[in-house]
């Protein structure tokens, strides 16, 4: 860290602390004094624990800036995301989340991942949910959207296979064409699209030090340097992730790369 930089905390890429381990999240936050922290970046598919009056919420409100990555894929409550609320239910939580963070600019919608699978003659994709969710979010002023396609890790393919599904992996040209279609849809709906760690697509930052400084109430400094702990295709700025793969996510998503 540089002399005047404060720490950005990521909670967490590794597991959904907000939804599955709120008590562990609270304990880990207690190790970081609010005056030393620039931003707490929260990642979740089910933000309900952020909305109740609780010690966790009280602790979060002591920090100067909260930024939320809210994942809404349209698959909640179904076979691929069995423990996640249906997407319309999550949309119903957006207003109090804006109140918590202080601005819709501090919330990024993650349509992540896009999935295409086949089971015999049956095909499934959440692709068509993108414009529906975007239309529902647009009135609230959220304008950033981050997108990726499901990664074909062997364990993901095996897990899907146990349920009879085979993953359809797009070739580079088809994915580029679909990315361009997504960009057109997003622009029409006033969203700025970012592709998260996708080969042959523009590099982006889910944790963007420059943006976090712009949004910070005091315009305080944080690192804008690339986080070397992340994948080569990840452009994120430096942060301290307080999650752990040992805290196994309980959301049960079939496509999850983190589950063993």
Using CB atoms within 10 Å of the CB of residue 227, give its burial: 0 to 12 exposed, 13 to 18 middle, 19+ buried: buried
Whether residue 257 has pLDDT greater than 90: no
Does residue 220 surpass a pLDDT of 90? Answer: yes
Contact, 49 vs 22, CB < 8 A?
A: yes
User: Tens of pLDDT along 6-32?
Assistant: 999 999 999 999 999 999 999 999 999
Question: What pLDDT does residue 244 have?
Answer: 93
Per-residue model confidence as pLDDT tens digits over 26-51: 999 999 999 999 999 999 999 999 99
Residue 196's Cβ-count burial label (10 Å; 0-12, 13-18, 19+) is buried
- Domain at 7-241: CATH architecture: Alpha-Beta Horseshoe (3.80)
Name the residue ranges covered by the structural domains of the chain. 7-241
Q: Given phi > 0 = left and psi -120 to 50 = alpha, else beta, which region is 234?
A: beta
């Amino acid at each position: 860290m540089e002399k005047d930089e404060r720490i950005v905390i990521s909670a967490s890429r590794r597991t959904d602390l907000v939804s599955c381990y709120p008590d562990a999240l609270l304990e880990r936050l207690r190790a970081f004094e609010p005056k030393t922290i620039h931003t707490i970046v929260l990642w979740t598919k089910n933000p309900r624990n952020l909305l109740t009056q609780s010690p966790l919420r009280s602790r979060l409100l002591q920090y100067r800036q909260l930024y939320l990555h809210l994942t809404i894929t349209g698959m909640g409550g179904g076979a691929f995301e069995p423990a996640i609320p249906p997407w319309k239910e999550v949309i119903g939580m957006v207003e109090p989340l804006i109140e918590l963070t202080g601005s819709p600019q501090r919330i990024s919608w993650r349509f992540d991942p896009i999935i295409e699978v086949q089971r015999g003659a049956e095909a499934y994709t959440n692709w068509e949910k993108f414009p529906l969710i975007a239309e529902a979010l647009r009135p609230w002023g959220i304008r950033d959207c981050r997108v990726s396609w499901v990664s074909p890790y062997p364990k993901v393919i095996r897990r899907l296979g146990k349920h009879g599904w085979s993953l359809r992996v797009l070739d580079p040209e088809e994915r580029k064409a679909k990315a361009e279609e997504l960009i057109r849809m997003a622009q029409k709906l006033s969203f700025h699209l970012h592709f998260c760690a996708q080969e042959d697509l523009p590099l982006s930052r889910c944790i963007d030090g420059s943006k976090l400084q712009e949004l910070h109430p005091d315009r305080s400094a944080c690192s804008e340097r690339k986080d070397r702990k992340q994948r080569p295709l990840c452009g994120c700025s430096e942060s301290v992730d307080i999650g752990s793969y040992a805290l196994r996510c309980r959301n049960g998503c079939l496509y999850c790369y983190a589950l063993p």
